[in-house]
Structure 1
Amino acid sequence: MQPIAYLIGTCDTKAAELSYLRERLADAGVSSCIVDVGTQGDDQGAADVHAAEVAACHPEGAAAVFVDDRGRAVAGMAEALRHWLPRRQNLGGVLGIGGSGGTALIAPALRELDIGVPKLLVSTIASGNVAPYVGPSDIAMLYSVTDVAGLNRISRRVLGNAAHALAGMLLHQVPEVANDKPAIGLSMFGVTTECVNQLSAALEADYDCLVFHATGTGGRSLEKLANSGMITGLLDVTTTEICDLFMGGVFSAGEQRLDILAQSALPYVGSCGALDMVNFAGRESVPERYRQRLLYEHNPQITLMRTTAEENARMGRWIGEKLNQSRGPVRFLLPEGGVSALDVPGQCFYDPDADAALFEALEQTVKQTSERQLIRSPFNINDPEFAAALVEHFRDIMHIETR
């Protein structure tokens, strides 16, 4: 079946724009299908797939979508589309259009698609914080500039660019690279880069090393890929997103961070990378209650705050409880020489007492077994000796899994 482009929007208000997208794709040699996700029942004759067909895929049926309350109707259609879209056998790529409501409706379904499937979203809110819409996916968002409310000299150019972008993705497939090496996931931050670079260098002959930036979305992406079966092992050395979860920083991955341990039996080697810091935006964004704390301006956009012994103890207990839910082999290494490049003698975040509180809370919480172990190391997380220990334990548990 020839893959085609799916064009998604509310035809009661955006039929002209969707039809224009179809014309531009046809001119580029790409077949398309217009999917109506409107809840008003008028598709202007533009739809190839009517809203009722999509709505029928809601777990509670179409009656859960076509309700009098607009908010509930949009939420219901979003849920229906999330179930309907991934089932399409001829889906080559997706282009959605919408304002705030349409974006919220379409984005969850795009997140359900596999990484690498072309997915674009032309949106009126794409110049703001798009993290709630993109999440751990590879959705490309394009700011519409004018509202998505009719065709004009601006919208034609923006929508045409979006159509041509999708056509390029469909007509020019990324060539496959022969690679029979299993993929593994690694988490990294600027202050643990030296460690992760050493890990990649030591393991790249045997593994395809996928490195994720621990910015909240990065941690979620790492665990999403792991849960999808695309990753065979984890070297999760940079768990800093937990600091932002606890203290309100900008890089939280949410309460679900480390849930992969309970969801999968993947071999897991972890550590305490950058648990010495909470990330805020510019200095002016630091909450008043933290203004007198030890702060470090990493760059004009990011201000770091050193975590305290009490905060580290809380995080240690939280991490320990997550580790206790593990289904597979776990080795969690504790770098007594410091958890980041800033946590070494002479650097601003060096605080052995705060680190000790973290390590002690972990040891008091984790129920150690032959499969679940904490390992202390006298080195800093970026020291070659610590990287070597991580590699040794990772190879060991990967060998256990494959025996």
Structure 2
Amino acid sequence: MSEQRTILVIGTYDTKDAELNYVADRIRRLGGNVLTMDVSVLGDPSVPTNISKHEVAAAAGKTIEDAVSAEDENLAMQIMAAGASALCAKLHAEGSIDGMIALGGTMGTDLALDCARALPIGVPKYVVSTIAFSPLIAPDRLSADIQMILWAGGLYGLNDICKATLSQAAGAVYGAALAVEPPDPDRPVIGMVSFGSSALQYMIHLRQPLIDRGFSVAVFHGTGMGGMALESLAEQGYFAAVLELAVAEIGNLMVGSVVNAGANRMLAAGKSGTPIIAAPAFGDMIDFATWQPVPERFRDRPYHAHNRLLASASLTAEERRELAREVASRLRQSKGPVHFVLPTQGIHAWDVEGMPAHDPVALAEMVDEYRNVMVDPIELTVLDCHINDLEFSQQVLSVIDRWIADGTIKTTR
């Protein structure tokens, strides 16, 4: 814990010189080392930074003159974002940095998101932003373990309010660099999508058997941000296999709910050739924020308020069929093997008799559509059980064991 860590401080030093220098100074006072990176286009810092704006532009194969002559602030900052993110990856690969912190408004945040995605999971990546937690930030721009803090009163100039934010951020990123326990690079990871154990039991049935087989098991909450994190890691080929057992984020995306993980959901693992086992958990519900009025089109449907944040309403039979077709379309794009396990008696705890989402007719239509669309090259297994029955999880394990035996799933990294 006494070993010094180096934090990369990123920002536009022509407009936020005092703020960036304040953060760097706070990190040094904590015992840390700092590398500074200027991503300005027009102006210059008060004192030279470790990495100049010219070096940033050069890392993108451009010059500052190219950025200026673009005469478009968006294009100019995209040049700087490309260079900054490339340098982040290079500096980390060389062992020169242990974490990063970036400051910004919309411009700086846009660039910072690319820098964070250039760093692997376990490397602290902190973004201090005037638009933190804003719907302006698309889910698929976020790295899996990004940390953000709202920069209150931080648009222009140092003041007591923004110093409180900046000092916390400096402490947070340096403390994270000291405390982080990086993932074991040699242990294969299985990514699994689920919801809470009150609704889905398979993660309870599967986790320990998978650990016993030598895997680390990461379960992602399928409420938008969880799916985003899984996609971010899947893009890197991080997983030995992905268990795409819950599809609600795709349904939410299709009907316009904000509880989604972006347009690329359920594509990254397939593009990387990662083996996929899929199932239709929660493929019959639409999620929305409890604290907002129920959207008019869902007001006459069965409704379940899970808590004061999240509520769900049922999809119609035709919407369930449409979702099945969309899921199949995404899975068929996979370069690796895909096995779909279809339980015919229900897909979460709320669809059993006596619960608000119980609709056996619509369930049967959904099952029928999955039978129709899960065709070659997708392998299909149909089970006469509920998804929460042990039989479902045993079938998933059976596929995994077969894929381990034939080398499809690697048991080492």
TM-score, normalised with respect to structure 2 = 0.89
Partner of 2:90: 87
Contact 2:144 2:230 in 1 (8 A): no
Residues 1:106 and 2:112 are matched in the alignment: yes
Once the two structures are overlaid, the 10-residue window that deviates more, 6-15 or 97-106, is 97-106
Question: Shift of the alpha carbon at 1:144?
Answer: 2.2
Which ranges of structure 1 fall in alignment gaps of 5 or more residues?
none
Which ranges of structure 2 fall in alignment gaps of 5 or more residues?
none
Distance in 1 (CA, whole Å) between partners of 2:179 and 2:317 is 51
Partner of 2:142: 135
Contact 2:62 2:79 in 1 (8 A): no
One-letter identity of the residue aligned with 2:148: M
Distance in 2 (CA, whole Å) between partners of 1:192 and 1:394 is 23
Contact 1:268 1:394 in 2 (8 A): no
> Which of 285, 297, 300 matches 1:289?
297
Note the alpha carbon deviations across 1:267-290, whole angstroms, 9 max, x for none: 221100111111011264432233
> Which of 104, 111, 117 matches 2:123?
117
> Which of 72, 75, 90 matches 2:75?
72
One-letter identity of the residue aligned with 1:47: T
One-letter identity of the residue aligned with 1:357: E
Partner of 1:16: 18
Note the alpha carbon deviations across 1:276-335, whole angstroms, 9 max, x for none: 111011264432233223222222222211011111111111222223233322210111
Partner of 2:44: 42
One-letter identity of the residue aligned with 2:106: S
> Which of 285, 298, 305 matches 2:306?
298
Distance in 2 (CA, whole Å) between partners of 1:71 and 1:326 is 33
Partner of 1:379: 385
Note the alpha carbon deviations across 1:165-203, whole angstroms, 9 max, x for none: 222233x24346879542111111136431211111322
The count of aligned residue pairs is 399
> Which of 163, 179, 189 matches 1:183?
189
> Which of 155, 168, 171 matches 1:161?
168
Note the alpha carbon deviations across 1:356-387, whole angstroms, 9 max, x for none: 32232233233325xx3111111111111212
Distance in 2 (CA, whole Å) between partners of 1:319 and 1:60 is 41
Distance in 1 (CA, whole Å) between partners of 2:295 and 2:32 is 51
State, as a whole percentage, how many aligned pairs show the same letter: 32
One-letter identity of the residue aligned with 2:157: G
RMSD, aligned α-carbons: 2.4
Question: Shift of the alpha carbon at 1:59?
Answer: 5.1
Contact 2:116 2:143 in 1 (8 A): no
Distance in 1 (CA, whole Å) between partners of 2:205 and 2:356 is 24
Residues 1:52 and 2:63 are matched in the alignment: no
Note the alpha carbon deviations across 1:62-95, whole angstroms, 9 max, x for none: 4552232223323332233233321212121111
Q: After superposition, where does 1:194-343 map in structure 2 within 5 Å? A: 194-206=201-213, 207-260=215-268, 262-282=270-290, 284-343=292-351
Once the two structures are overlaid, the 10-residue window that deviates more, 20-29 or 335-344, is 20-29
CA 1:100 to 1:353, structure 2 compared with 1: closer, same or farther past 3 Å?
Answer: same
CA 1:178 to 1:334, structure 2 compared with 1: closer, same or farther past 3 Å?
Answer: closer
CA 1:341 to 1:11, structure 2 compared with 1: closer, same or farther past 3 Å?
Answer: same
TM-score, normalised with respect to structure 1 = 0.91
Once the two structures are overlaid, the 10-residue window that deviates more, 174-183 or 389-398, is 174-183
CA 1:140 to 1:224, structure 2 compared with 1: closer, same or farther past 3 Å?
Answer: closer
Once the two structures are overlaid, the 10-residue window that deviates more, 338-347 or 348-357, is 348-357
Distance in 2 (CA, whole Å) between partners of 1:224 and 1:153 is 36
One-letter identity of the residue aligned with 2:173: L
Once the two structures are overlaid, the 10-residue window that deviates more, 358-367 or 31-40, is 358-367
> Which of 93, 96, 100 matches 2:102?
96
Contact 2:132 2:148 in 1 (8 A): yes
CA 1:84 to 1:177, structure 2 compared with 1: closer, same or farther past 3 Å?
Answer: closer
Q: What is the DSSP-based 3-state SS (H/G/I as helix, E as strand, rest coil) of the residue aligned with 1:20? A: helix
